[in-house]
Amino acid sequence: MTDWQQQSANRMMRTFGAPMAMLVRGQGARVWDAAGNEYLDFLAGIAVNALGHAHPVFVEALSRQAATIAHVSNYFASPPQLELAERLVRLSGAGEDGRVFFSNSGAEANEAAFKLARLHGGTDRPRILALTDAFHGRTLGSLALTGKPAMRAPFEPMPGGVEHIDSTIEALEAAIGDDVAALFLEPIKGEAGVLPLPEGYLQAAREITSRHGVLLVIDEIQTGAGRTGEWFAFQHAGITPDAITVAKGIGGGVPIGALITFGAASDLFGPGHHGSTFGGNPLMTATANAVLGEIEHANLVRNAAERGAELRAAIEAIGSPHIVGIRGQGLLLGVALSEPRAGGLTAAAMGEGLIVNAANPNTIRLAPPLNIDSADITEFIARFSRALATLDTPTESDAS
């Protein structure tokens, strides 16, 4: 065990497994560890580093704002905060009624949405629906929405009223009623193995929730900021939700999240209903403005769609018997394996200088930076092919 591994084991809270490497530097789609090894990063901090590492636009915006004013509290407004709110309303299509609440993370954005649903429902609508296998965060409210019983079990009882249903239109029709306050869903369930909702589900969910006066809340924390080939994944379906939650890629590496409301849902929160000490501070919002501005300027939403299609085709062309399917959209892809060996493949990929992620035992998750290019995809395929070849010989880590 190296010194940093020992220090991590002794001093870091054991909320995650042992770190796979000590990363000390990044540039574009590449990172380097403390031993000087280079890795091609096709995970991007789980869809956070939208522009890759140390992008000059990101660095300049963060440095400039840090040298200007970093924090002002909620008693004051700041230009980058208002600029980012205007930008998110425009990009999401929330329209004139759109409103934004800033948080520090996606989980906190979902906490805000949970409280919004409670305000909407009051005592007449005590039920909230969410989908099985969905992941909405690890804070207590967002955990209650998360459809993974094993993750909730150690922390029961959860905040009440949340029911989890299968991702079918029939299940939604059977569960919904006029006593339901909100439906929460992910367009693509990342932690479940990058599983998109069934074709037509979002349109049906919009129609059914509207018919019953139920808020439709879409968790775009992983799918937002252009990752799927639209600014937000719900836009592929041509619907208008009541609220979306965003985080990860909008900050490009700084901690920021937001709840964006549409229409009448924008009037639910009043003074004192919710708050955040750091949410929307000038440092984070100035950086997010720069990141989203660069995504627009460099047309990276289109690049996500085009490079995503290229990456999918290149993986299919490998022709590995270990791959049984490729799911997802744009640059959020799940490589489905024939056996539960994603842990072993992730370790083999690290050995080839490639960072990917086991979304579950059967699925490798890919979420490279939105500015990834064809040369990096070609290099990824070469390294990933060599890692796949190691699956011909099973190892102890395959089922991890």
Whether 323 and 202 share a structural domain: no
Residue 23 to residue 34: CA distance in whole angstroms: 6
Residues 6+ apart with CB under 8 A from 62: 254, 283, 286, 287, 290
Domain region containing 128: 57-298
Whether 314 and 389 share a structural domain: yes
Known binding-site residues equal 106-107, 135, 138, 219-222, 276-277
Task: Give the model's pLDDT for residue 391.
Answer: 92
Task: Give the model's pLDDT for residue 394.
Answer: 65
Task: Give the model's pLDDT for residue 397.
Answer: 57
Whether 309 and 256 share a structural domain: no
Residue 102 falls inside a structural domain = yes
Mean pLDDT to the nearest integer, 345-365: 97
Strands (E) across the chain are located at 23-27, 30-33, 38-41, 99-103, 127-131, 162-165, 180-185, 188-189, 195-196, 215-219, 243-246, 257-261, 323-329, 332-337, 354-355, 357-360, 363-366
- Beta carbons of 254 and 279 less than 8 angstroms apart: no
- pLDDT of residue 251 exceeding 70: yes
Whether 273 and 176 share a structural domain: yes
- pLDDT of residue 256 exceeding 80: yes
The total domain count for the chain is 2
Residue 398: which pLDDT band, with cuts at 50, 70 and 90?
A: low
Residue 159 to residue 146: CA distance in whole angstroms: 12
Give the end of a domain, one of 298, 329, 357: 298
Whether 95 and 186 share a structural domain: yes
Mean pLDDT to the nearest integer, 34-43: 97
Whether 232 and 265 share a structural domain: yes
pLDDT tens readout for residues 265-285? 999 999 999 999 999 999 999
Residue 15 falls inside a structural domain = no
Q: What is the pTM of this model?
A: 0.96
Mean pLDDT to the nearest integer, 296-318: 98
Whether 272 and 292 share a structural domain: yes
Known binding-site residues for pyridoxal 5'-phosphate equal 106-107, 135, 219-222, 277
Residue 366 to residue 327: CA distance in whole angstroms: 10
Give the end of a domain, one of 282, 298, 314: 298
What is the residue type of 298? A
Known binding-site residues for N(2)-acetyl-L-ornithine equal 138, 276
Residue 164 to residue 220: CA distance in whole angstroms: 19
Residue 5 falls inside a structural domain = no
Looking at residue 246, which CATH number applies to its domain?
3.40.640.10
Q: What is the CA radius of gyration of the chain?
A: 21
Whether 274 and 380 share a structural domain: no
Helices then strands (H, E): number in the chain?
13, 17
Residue 221 falls inside a structural domain = yes
pLDDT tens readout for residues 204-231? 999 999 999 999 999 999 999 999 999 9
pLDDT tens readout for residues 156-209? 999 999 999 999 999 999 999 999 999 999 999 999 999 999 999 999 999 999
Residue 124 to residue 345: CA distance in whole angstroms: 50
Q: Work out the mean pLDDT of the chain and round it to a whole number.
A: 96
Task: Give the model's pLDDT for residue 1.
Answer: 85
Task: Give the model's pLDDT for residue 396.
Answer: 60
Residue 1 falls inside a structural domain = no
- Beta carbons of 78 and 285 less than 8 angstroms apart: yes
What is the residue type of 357? N
Whether 374 and 388 share a structural domain: yes
pLDDT tens readout for residues 370-380? 999 999 999 99
